[in-house]
Amino acid sequence: MHKDETVHHYQFASDNYAGICPEALEAMAAANTGFACSYGDDPWTARACTLLRDFFETDCEVFFVFNGTAANSLALASLCNSYHSIVCHETSHVETDECGAVEFFSNGTKVLLVPGDNGKVDLDAVEHTVRRRTDIHYPKPKALSIAQATEVGTLYSVDELKEVGARAKHLSLKLHVDGARFANAVAALGVPPKELTWKAGVDVLCFGGTKNGMAVGEAVIFFNRELATEFDYRCKQAGQLASKMRFLAAPWIGMLESGAWLTRAAHANDCAARLEAGLRQVNGVRIMFPRQANSVFAEIPPPILAGLRDRGWHFYTFIGSGGARFMCSWETSESDVDALLTAVREVAATVGP
């Protein structure tokens, strides 16, 4: 199925190259105490739900699914019928990196794209997309999907988010947040999670566990409880109901009770800040988007990028720009960052101006 590749100790391709953080792994092991009811009727699932309700300071509905593709697609499918459409940013993950999963889970819901600076939706473009046509040949816009942090590592401020929420409401759009890196956003913005969710009008959040340090698993959080009706059936039919649910739920207990969700995310953000600061010192390098969470997008002369790849560094090319994405994770160390910066400087020196 897959070609063998050696393990790369130092790399910045994605935060899903990182392993399981100790708090998550220990919680899994701690849940491994004999028999437990399956499919979520176990005390760990109950406890994790309670902790998430405390976390958001509201009585939200909580579901645990296996990965982000499923979390986003199922959440959006619960907001839309097949003949509806979802408005999102043209760089959004649901558009560019899920191989048509949204369309598959919803049986055809169309994704309509809007531009916007720094990976954030332009609200006038959203409004235009909703208002420009009302005929039945045009799939009726029903949901607005944004990401926090965005695909280019930026953040919606609380005020921006409130504006998004208000406009969504004004346009009768349900508001979905792809929070694969929601912990990084909270850590960076330093506000209570409720400020970034239901208080701003978010209907459903896909809260990422994997990139925060877990082995597998995301939480789908419905602040609008009505929208969660029969979501358990939806998960079951779509192959997203874990039989040994406790092992999906327990890591959330570990992360939330220990505070690791925050410290691990803050650490990743700090690494990115350190990397950004270092890159800014390198001639010919340009930071492409405000660095706000755990990634740095930089335009770097192609010969330097080639040189880094030759030395075994991993990072993504940013589609269409010739730039590079460096992603930091809970497992990235300051010395990893420094090693990368050293490599950049060395390669740059070789390549010349």
- The Cα–Cα gap between 116 and 38 comes to 44
Q: Minimum distance from CB of 187 to a second copy (Å)?
A: 21
In the stretch 113-132, what mask flags binding to a second copy with x, by CB under 8 A? -------------------x
Quick check: 2 binds a second copy (CB under 8 A)?
yes
Of 165 and 208, nearer to a second copy (C-beta) is 208
Please, which residue, 47 or 282, has the CB nearer to a second copy?
A: 47
68-107 binders of a second copy (CB under 8 A)? 68-70, 73-74, 81-85, 96-101, 103-105, 107
Give whichever of 63 and 297 is closer to a second copy, judged by the CB atom. 63
Question: Closer CB to a second copy, residue 184 or residue 210?
Answer: 210
Q: Are 291 and 121 in contact (CB under 8 A)?
A: no
Closest distance to a second copy from the beta carbon of 290 (Å)? 25
Give the torsion sign (CA, 239, 245, 249, 251).
negative
Tell me which residues in 135-174 interact with a second copy (CB under 8 A).
136-140
Residues paired with residue 35 on neighbouring β-strands, in sequence order: none
Query: What residues numbered 6-35 form the site for a second copy, per CB under 8 A?
Result: 6-11, 13-14, 16-20, 25, 28-29, 31-35
Query: Of 234 and 291, which CB lies nearer to a second copy in the complex structure?
Result: 234
Q: Which stretch binds a second copy (CB under 8 A): 108-116, 169-177, 271-279, 342-350?
A: 108-116
SS3 readout for the chain: CCCCCCCCCCCCCCHHHCCCCHHHHHHHHHCCCCCCCCCCCCHHHHHHHHHHHHHHCCCCEEEEECCHHHHHHHHHHHHCCCCEEEEEECCCHHHHCCCCHHHHHCCCCEEEEECCHHHCCCHHHHHHHHHCCCCCCCCEEEEEEEECCCCCCCCCCHHHHHHHHHHHHHCCCEEEEEECCHHHHHHHHCCCHHHHCHHHCCCEEEEECCCCCCCCCEEEEECCHHHHCCHHHHHHHCCCCCCCCHHHHHHHHHHHHHCHHHHHHHHHHHHHHHHHHHHHCCCCCEECCCCCCCEEEEECCHHHHHHHHHCCCCCEEECCCCEEEEECCCCCCHHHHHHHHHHHHHHHHHHCC
CB of 333 to a second copy, least distance (A): 10
Does 335 bind a second copy (CB under 8 A)? Our answer is no
List all residues 6 or more positions away from 312 whose beta carbon is below 8 Å from its beta carbon: 8, 10
Residue 325 engages a second copy in binding (rule: CB under 8 A): no
β-bridge pairing 174-179 and 204-208: parallel
Give min distance, CB of 304 to a second copy, in A: 22
Judged by CB, which is closer to a second copy: 191, or 341? 341
Pick the closer one to a second copy by CB: 250 or 282.
250
62 binds a second copy (CB under 8 A): yes
Question: Smallest Cα–Cα separation from 217: which of 36, 79, 28?
Answer: 28
Segment 285-304, which members bind a second copy (CB under 8 A)?
none
CB of 25 to a second copy, least distance (A): 6
Q: How far is the CB of 309 from a second copy (least distance, A)?
A: 14
Closer to a second copy by CB, 236 or 286: give it.
236
**Which C-beta is closer to a second copy: that of 200 or that of 235?**
235
- Window 198 to 257, contacts with a second copy (CB under 8 A): 210, 215-216, 230, 232-234, 236-245, 247-248
Residue 4 or 310 having the CB closest to a second copy = 4
- Among candidates 189, 174, 217, 185, which has minimal Cα distance to 75? 174
Using CB under 8 A, which of 23, 27, 40, 293 touches a second copy? 40
From 62-70, 147-155, 165-173, 343-351, give the range in contact with a second copy by CB under 8 A: 62-70
